[in-house]
Amino acid sequence: MTTTAHDLLEKHYYQIESRYSILSSGKYTTLVTANGNSATPIHRWFRMKEAYSSEMLGQVLNDTGLDGLRTLRLVDPFSGSGTTGVSAGDLIRRGDLDESRVTAMEVNPFLHLVSRAKMSGHMVGPLRIQTVAGHIARRALTEQDGLTEIPSLTTFANPDYFPTENLRNLLALKASLTTILRETSDAATSDLLHLALASAIEPSSNLRRDGRALRLTAGKARTNPINIFLDAVETIAHDIDKPRIPFTASVSLQDSRRLPQPVQPSHDLALFSPPYPNNIDYTEVYKLEAWFLGLYSSSEDFSLQRRQTVRSHSSLRWGEQYGFRDGKNVKLIEALLAPVLDAIPDDRYRRGRQEVVLGYADDMLATLRFLHASLDVGGRMAIAVGNSMHGKAGNDYVIASDLLLAQLAEVAGFHVDKIDIARYPKRRTARSAYLRESLVFATKERQDA
């Protein structure tokens, strides 16, 4: 029987896996998705289906032995919708923690706003944003402040995508919100109202977020954006109508791969979910909100932002610059990736897909080195990640991100404690045992990597 590149890749993964403690505890089966978040205060403010459950942090603390801490210092290099940080505040409100300090980073400007706004929900205490929002809505209904310019993204100018009346209401809301916010310097109020406005954009269009794209949906039920805005504010006001807690969080618009060293080791836990190498460009997926809020002003801004993201998709040609090739572990990393590169079918997509494998490993290693420097000795790390299948049936291959990240974590100086397999997504065409979602657990055992 001929040994194929697919067979060699599966054998390669088996050999890597044999080095680690692999289990399927069942604890994370429902936690690796946003299960329950849509009904949970603060987490529900802007739904991202790519998020994990608000209950994830508590389970990770239990599994890492950090559940005895009363003060938690937490770092998240891919803040996304802010689930990790907001969950720390949840634990304080439940009495499971006395205090928490969260350091988070996000390179996508819209998701940075989402994270920042959500985490402020545990820090601001009650705000009279309903009164402000009602004032904004009344002015928008009469177009008292006029209309802002239509964003230069062509999607907004197409009535098939945005019905004319709904677009006018959105533009009037933005104009009135901008006018009213000139009278306040409160950053939290501004963030929360902008998040409420963002919540009204997709639902008032004929578009629907579907996996890696925005799709035109005939007959989609639409709602007046002013009503959606007011409903979102009502939800936010309800969720923040609580006393402040000893919770502090900073969410910086920064790239953890490119932060200057040295970093002060001052955290107990890193919990995060990086982009999976599954060909989803999140800059593209959340472009409506970012463009409408003015976070991009030109196609050049948008293109630059796409190129600042993790190399997890092949919709761009990334080039062949890899920092790991200048390091002492280059041979180890090349040996780790070679069977994956060899398994990529020899077609017109081959080079782009190879750039993703090499670029993703390079980006993750840079992030893991940053996290190693950020954690105290004895600090723990938990990575929620999904493996992805590529290529056509019969000529497909899996990128086993959990195993690749485990090996890269060792290169960065961590000891890998275990890999807990959360679930196996159902794919009838899958030929691999490694198509799964997992939690990779690791410990920083010494200061020097």
Tens-digit pLDDT string for the chain (449 aa): 567 888 999 999 999 999 999 999 999 999 999 999 999 999 999 988 889 999 999 999 999 999 999 999 999 999 999 999 999 999 999 999 999 999 999 999 999 999 999 999 999 988 889 999 999 999 999 999 999 999 999 999 999 999 999 999 999 999 999 999 998 778 999 999 999 999 999 999 999 887 767 888 877 767 899 999 999 999 999 999 999 999 999 999 999 998 876 778 899 999 999 999 988 898 999 999 999 999 998 999 999 999 999 999 988 889 889 999 988 899 999 999 999 999 999 998 899 999 999 999 999 999 999 999 999 999 999 999 999 999 887 788 999 999 999 999 999 999 999 999 999 987 656 678 899 999 999 999 988 76
pLDDT of residue 305: 95
Of the residues 191, 210, 239, which one is the last residue of a structural domain?
A: 239
- At which of 194, 213, 239 does a domain end? 239
Cα 192 to its chain centre, rounded Å, is 19
Q: In this structure, are 259 and 319 located in the same domain?
A: yes
Same domain, 229 and 251: no
Residues 412 and 373 in one domain: yes
- Our count of domains for the chain comes to 2
Say yes or no: 42 and 147 in one domain: no
Residue 104 lies in a domain: yes
Rounded-to-integer distance, Cα 8 and Cα 20, Å: 20
Does residue 147 sit within a domain?
yes
| Cα 260–Cα 266–Cα 270 angle in degrees, nearest 5 | 85
Are 290 and 430 contained in the same domain? yes
Residue 119 inside a domain? The answer is no
pLDDT in the model for residue 430: 67
Residue 64: Cβ within 10 Å count? 20
In a domain, 449, yes or no: no
Which region, left, alpha or beta, applies to residue 400 given φ > 0 means left and ψ of -120 to 50 means alpha? Answer: beta
Please tell me the predicted confidence (pLDDT) of residue 209.
87
Whether 277 and 412 share a structural domain = yes
The reply to whether 186 and 280 lie within a common domain is no
Whether 232 and 252 map to the same domain: the answer is no
In a domain, 121, yes or no: no
Q: E strand or H helix at 96, and its extent?
A: none
Shared domain for 281 and 176, answered yes or no, is no
Q: Is 153 in the same domain as 195?
A: yes
Q: Specify whether 149 is located in the same domain as 195.
A: yes
Asked whether residue 65 is domain-assigned, the answer is: yes
Residue 315 is part of a domain; what is its CATH number? 3.40.50.150
* Residue 118 forms part of a structural domain: no
DSSP assignment string, 367-409: HHHHHHHHEEEEEEEEEEEE-EEES-TTS-EEE-HHHHHHHHH
Give the DSSP H/E element, type plus range, for residue 157: none
117 assigned to some structural domain: no
Nearest to 383 by CA among 252, 270, 298: 270
Task: Compute the Cα dihedral for 220, 226, 232, 238 and give only its sign.
Answer: negative
Q: Which residues constitute the domain of residue 184?
A: 129-239
Are both 219 and 262 inside the same structural domain? no
Do you know the residue count of the chain? Answer: 449
Tens-place pLDDT, residues 364-422: 999 999 999 999 999 999 999 999 999 887 788 999 999 999 999 999 999 999 999 99
Last residue in a domain, options 193, 220, 239: 239
